[in-house]
Structure 1
Amino acid sequence: MIALFQAVSSYKSRVRPTRKFNQSSVPRWVPVNKSFIALTKMILRSAATRLGLEQAAVTLRCLNHQGYRHLLLADDVRDLFVAASGGAEEFIISTQEANASPFQGFDAEAALSLPVNFKTPDNESQRLGYLVVQMAPGVHVADATVKHELSLVIEEIVRVISRYQSRYRSIHWYGDQSFWVGNSSILRQLDQRIDQLAKRKSPVLLRADKGTGKIIAARRFHDIACSETAPFIESDCREWEEGTATAILQSLRSCATGGTLFLRSIDALSAKDMLALRHFCLQWMAATRSGTSLSLVFSLSSAAIDPVAIGLGWMMHFVQSLPLPTLAERREDLHDLVQFFIAEFALAGDVDLQDCAWQLLETHEFTANVEGLKNLLKQVAMRNQGGLVTADELRALL
């Protein structure tokens, strides 16, 4: 990763390397930790409720590495040695409270097992484990609708694994933990849209408000569009000195070639710097035709900004707009987000919300979207030492 800081008076942008790009820095492991288990349980319990399943579980082949349980997403000689030495184990995450034991009262005749496969960076299919469900009375194993729905459950589990791979990469390269949380239909559609745009190598314009995950979307685009060791360069146009855009863009292009350049808040540029950005994009299009590889992602500081009204009408001819959903549009994800953040921050581990507190939360408008919800729940978890959070306690923090 290379970080760009405030331009100096000489109009030369200052950059510094924060992580050397090499194969050894590529994250090959996904930790099967508390939050991973919580998210997977949410998917399984939601499926059980929706499909009327008695029980559901996913079995995952894991390795113990440096004292931690991980999923392995790439095979090499060292990994095979770890597996052969007895470090491998089958780990079960189920709708039951106990994860490390088989189903109680398991009935093989009323069960269905489907493989959980994950595509490696080499586009090869890797078997991670199996989704095993016990059907409710009256639901037949041969029911094609049930099998289709279960395949969607597997897609959700694989998507969580993919998000955790991005999260692990974020920790390893970027020093944070930015990734999507939730299973709503609009979030699934967003994942699919990013996947389509990344595979087409289309330049993307993110139109979204604060707290909706612009950095997550940009990094996800990069993860799909570029090789694992390709640079991801992010720069916020609000930090540029006026009149320095040409010099900064030249420096950024040299740093990001072969990877992705993410320019944030391009609406903050002056009219003169907007012209410099347009010239840069024309050069990019010419370089793309000659085979030079550079993925571009732009963002506006607010979803309400009209690109044409601020002089970016020319850009709309070659970029693909990607709106990101607000928290209000992701109401289906609210329970998942709340449970995830409470599990992340709660010291006692048994914090939950009373029904009246849930109702208050569901009707509140968070101006900072998911970021605002996260900050609120951090305060709730720190103040509550276990038990139910009342509406009055929640209202005092809103």
Structure 2
Amino acid sequence: MKNEAFQILVVDDEKAYSDSLSIILRSEGYAVDTETSSAKALEMIGSKEYHLVISDFMMEDMDGFELLKMIKEKKKELEVIIVTGYGSIKNAVEAMKKGAFSYYIKSHDPTELLHEVSKVKRIRALTEEVHQASESSRYLMRSKNKKMQEIIEMAEKVAQSDTNVLLLGESGVGKEVIANYIHEQSNRKFYQFIPVNCRSYSKTLLESELFGHEKGAYTGATETRIGKVESAQGGTLFLDEIGDATLDTQIKLLRVLDAKYIERIGSNEHIDVDFRLICATNQGLKEQIQQGEFREDFFYRISTFTLEIPALRERQEDIEEMVRFFVKQISRKMDKQALDIEPELMTYLLKYSYPGNIRELKNIIERLIVLSSDGILRKKDLLANQQHSYSLEYTLKEVRAQAEKAYIEQMLRHMDGHLSETANRLGITRRQLFNKIGQLNIYVEK
């Protein structure tokens, strides 16, 4: 059932009402317990993990406000919806002041209550998602590696200013995690952190995503849209893969950084903006500048402070703790038990070079947890997914070509299709890589 992990306790001394409400909630897939006594309800809350309490206001042993107060003393994060047959604005306001999530009148349509329950569920899911992301961010900013420790220290120092930051490093090293960490350590942490991947949009769509547009600004613009720059007001704007932004977009961003205002597409109105800019790339921007693909003035504007993040293969002393962290985090998220890691697997993971860096490690752990049937993560489950079967009709040369093709394609995926980075990791020149792509009929994603 779609909602059965969401636990609700209904407290009402009218058993007939609590039973009927229980039937309605269960029909929506929620797991429901009922109780007619407030005192016993408090005992249940102390011994079982509930996500929501729906409590009657008028009860013989304790009114809903008193129960609400005691619930919040026990578990501040537990949401409570007050239900009553005698509704008034005064009581509704009082309930909200005392910490109730909302207030429902029994005579009203039950869909109103179901809507409130759904809101609690969505908010809790979002809160857990943010908590997990924050937990991951904090954990990944701990390191035994000297170079990474220096990066963390510099990130903490630069966070105390509004300096523009450029993060460099291979795909998957955790550039967004570091950008988010800088935001959380800054005075802007109470405002939004807005990430934008420049590679995900065409030129027109990227500008609309960044600056917003007015209704009718172009075909398909059926309503006014606020852009990411405007949404980052007071907070931090993170532009990932900045090397993929067109020259026109770079010019517009440069103007915004200088003038401190934007104009939505299709409008001449100036909208003042105040945000911290952090950019990231795994491309060689100086090489792009020489080739005329990146503006030099824009480069110097965004790179007031530059941090180069080391690849995971350069941080081997961090791998074991990172493995255990991802095992714990992912198994909890998937609600699947992961008891232990086979020693042979850990040895393999410690020696592996991780072309895709932290992102690849996380994907490996997720795959192992999915394949595990008894909570033990094993090397054979990882290698089973990587083995290739060849026809006995192939020559040794043909088998070598297949293996070479598979490895180059895998490396290209890890490098997000960047040819120069891929060639560098393969230990060959860019021209040699081009030749291999043609000879082996390798597909390169655009």
Structure 2 length-normalised TM: 0.45
Match of 1:374 in 2: 362
Partner amino acid, structure 2, of 1:171: E
Match of 1:331 in 2: 316
Partner amino acid, structure 1, of 2:356: A
Partner amino acid, structure 2, of 1:325: P
Is the CA contact 1:266–1:299 (under 8 Å) kept in the aligned structure 2? yes
CA distance in 2, matches of 1:361, 1:226: 38
CA-to-aligned-CA distance 1:41-81 (integer Å, 9 cap, x gap): xxxxxxxxxxxxxxxxxxxxxxx99959xxxxxxxxxxxx9
Partner amino acid, structure 2, of 1:317: Y
CA distance in 2, matches of 1:387, 1:174: 22
Structure 1 residues 13-92: aligned runs within 5 Å: none
Is the CA contact 1:214–1:324 (under 8 Å) kept in the aligned structure 2? yes
Q: CA deviation at 1:256?
A: 1.7
Q: CA deviation at 1:202?
A: 0.8
Match of 1:396 in 2: 384
Aligned pair 1:260/2:236, yes or no? yes
1:375–1:244 distance in 2 versus 1, CA, 3 Å: closer
Aligned pair 1:281/2:281, yes or no? no
Q: Give the total of aligned pairs.
A: 240
Match of 1:196 in 2: 157
CA distance in 2, matches of 1:188, 1:264: 23
Structure 1 residues 282-301: aligned runs within 5 Å: 282-284=258-260, 293-300=274-281
Structure 1 residues 169-180: aligned runs within 5 Å: 171-172=129-130, 178-179=136-137, 180=139
Of 172-181 and 333-342, deviating more is 172-181
Q: CA deviation at 1:195?
A: 1.0
CA distance in 1, matches of 2:275, 2:178: 17
Structure 1 residues 218-229: aligned runs within 5 Å: 218-229=179-190
RMSD between superposed Cα atoms in Å: 3.9
More helix by share: 2
Match of 1:360 in 2: 348
Aligned pair 1:183/2:111, yes or no? no
Higher relative contact order (CA 8 A, sep 6+): 1
Is the CA contact 2:199–2:245 (under 8 Å) kept in the aligned structure 1? yes
Q: What secondary structure is seen at the aligned counterpart in 2 of 1:339?
A: helix
Q: CA deviation at 1:269?
A: 2.0
CA distance in 2, matches of 1:303, 1:257: 28
Structure 1 residues 147-186: aligned runs within 5 Å: 171-172=129-130, 178-179=136-137, 180-181=139-140, 182-185=142-145, 186=147
CA-to-aligned-CA distance 1:243-264 (integer Å, 9 cap, x gap): 5665554343322221111122
CA distance in 2, matches of 1:170, 1:213: 21
Match of 1:101 in 2: none
Q: What secondary structure is seen at the aligned counterpart in 1 of 2:280?
A: strand
Match of 1:315 in 2: 298
Partner amino acid, structure 1, of 2:364: L
Q: CA deviation at 1:364?
A: 1.7
CA distance in 1, matches of 2:369, 2:170: 26
Is the CA contact 1:261–1:296 (under 8 Å) kept in the aligned structure 2? yes
CA distance in 2, matches of 1:245, 1:85: 48
CA distance in 2, matches of 1:324, 1:170: 28
CA distance in 2, matches of 1:241, 1:393: 39
CA distance in 1, matches of 2:155, 2:47: 32
1:246–1:383 distance in 2 versus 1, CA, 3 Å: closer
Match of 1:210 in 2: 171
Match of 2:88 in 1: none
More strand by share: 1
Partner amino acid, structure 2, of 1:197: V
Q: CA deviation at 1:341?
A: 2.1
Is the CA contact 2:369–2:377 (under 8 Å) kept in the aligned structure 1? no
Is the CA contact 2:338–2:377 (under 8 Å) kept in the aligned structure 1? no
Is the CA contact 1:231–1:258 (under 8 Å) kept in the aligned structure 2? yes
Tell which structure's C-alpha radius of gyration is larger: 2
CA-to-aligned-CA distance 1:199-230 (integer Å, 9 cap, x gap): 12210111122221122112112112234431
Structure 1 length-normalised TM: 0.50
Q: Which runs of 5+ in 1 are unaligned?
A: 1-63, 69-80, 89-167
1:272–1:292 distance in 2 versus 1, CA, 3 Å: closer
Q: Which runs of 5+ in 2 are unaligned?
A: 1-45, 51-68, 77-125, 213-227, 263-271, 387-446
Is the CA contact 1:249–1:280 (under 8 Å) kept in the aligned structure 2? no
Is the CA contact 1:171–1:177 (under 8 Å) kept in the aligned structure 2? no
Percent of aligned positions that are identical: 18
Partner amino acid, structure 2, of 1:271: L
Match of 1:340 in 2: 325
1:231–1:377 distance in 2 versus 1, CA, 3 Å: closer
Of 322-331 and 245-254, deviating more is 245-254
CA distance in 1, matches of 2:167, 2:257: 16
CA-to-aligned-CA distance 1:86-139 (integer Å, 9 cap, x gap): 789xxxxxxxxxxxxxxxxxxxxxxxxxxxxxxxxxxxxxxxxxxxxxxxxxxx
1:183–1:173 distance in 2 versus 1, CA, 3 Å: closer
CA distance in 2, matches of 1:232, 1:265: 16
CA distance in 2, matches of 1:393, 1:203: 44
Q: CA deviation at 1:317?
A: 2.8
